[in-house]
Amino acid sequence: MGRVYNFSAGPATMPLPVLEEIQAELLDYKGSGMSVMEMSHRSKVFQTIADEAEADLRELMNIPDNYKVLFIQGGATLQFSMIPMNLCKNGVFDYIVTGAWSKKAASEAKKFGKVNVVATSEDKNYSYIPDCSDLPIDDDADYVYICENETIHGTTFQTLPNTKGKILVSDQSSMFLSKPCNVSDYGMIYGGVQKNIGPAGISIVIIREDLIREDLKDANTPVYMRYDTHAANGSMYNTPNCWAIYVCGKVFKYLKSIGGLEKMNEINVEKAKVLYDFLDSSKMFNGTVEKEVRSLMNVPFVTASKELDAEVVAATKAAGFDNLKGHKSVGGLRASIYNAMPIEGVKALVEFLKKYEEENA
């Protein structure tokens, strides 16, 4: 069986050239005589891998010198706790809840202080982004939090919220490196890598240096849950996820080779247009998100019934399109068309859905 078009929301499809390069190096990484999975994280060989990965990411995103780049195990969900634990000063956190992941993050933050939901789109099943131009930001808020692209519900911020001078923290898990990003607009950006960059197991945290607190060592904050621990040890306080860092580094180099994030954004816009144009013209399939805030990465859509949704999912899988079933919490269908999904895959899916509609209308 050949490779399928994998529309999974994560772990997700990866660039074929990267996979082929990894395959070639699997048993013997550049004459080291061993796989990256076997080598010590304290070795000069791996230190070079880690250093190059960080340098390439900094170049891709034009990360200012006063921001630290951290590779932290545990995925994005661990950051739901680490953020309030590390950024808490007044014990007040303002959250903008636009989908399942920001809602979960807000729920976790309640364990560490007072959470204000300053805006939400829950009233319409998270199908839109609320107006964030004049929010009731708390004077004591330690930060304002967003999930910039909601993987499950398929919405994305087109304009960043007005935080009225407060620190902006953004979960970019499902849009990381999909387009240019002005890092200076944020106090912290983070994301699990398994959606758009690499294999599951770590998050990348980009955090302004002045937000990294050293006084937490005198508190009851667990040592591994402190950003200063990771910053002071080059993300190697303990054995890191060496394999994931290695693969991420390969993806960074791949993105640089195709023209960087500006070029990647052009490709993503073109891909998404193919699918959204079809959904806008279809009578059987309907998008679930307001047009102005549609995600370029995650495209949820539905038919007239749950039964038909299930039939379509089964038909797509049989035809070589995998993981189109919507998240269990919302149902329907969802096509995650991350960086590594080729436009040919999106066009092929659209042609299949068109044919299905014609034959089953």
What residues are annotated to the active site? 101, 171, 195
Kindly report the number of other CB atoms within 10 A of residue 304's CB atom: 11
CA 235/CA 157 separation, integer angstroms:
30
SS3 92: strand
- β 168-171/143-147 pair status: parallel
Structure tokens at 205: 């945290």
SS3 140: coil
- β 5-6/321-322 pair status: parallel
Residue 94 has φ and ψ, to the nearest 5°, of -100, 125
CB contact at 8 A, 198 and 219: no
* Letter string b/e over residues 241-278, b meaning 16 or more CB atoms within 10 A of that residue's CB: bbbbbbbbbbbbbbbeeeebbeebbebbeebbeebbeb
CA 260, 262, 265, 271 torsion: positive or negative? negative
CA 204/CA 182 separation, integer angstroms:
16
SS3 329: coil
SS3 164: coil
The widest CA-to-CA distance across the chain, in whole angstroms, is: 67
Overall size of the chain counted in residues: 361
- Distances 238 to 47, 170, 234, 249 between C-alpha atoms, Å: 14, 26, 10, 20
CB contact at 8 A, 298 and 9: yes
> DSSP H helical segments within 116-217, as ranges?
none
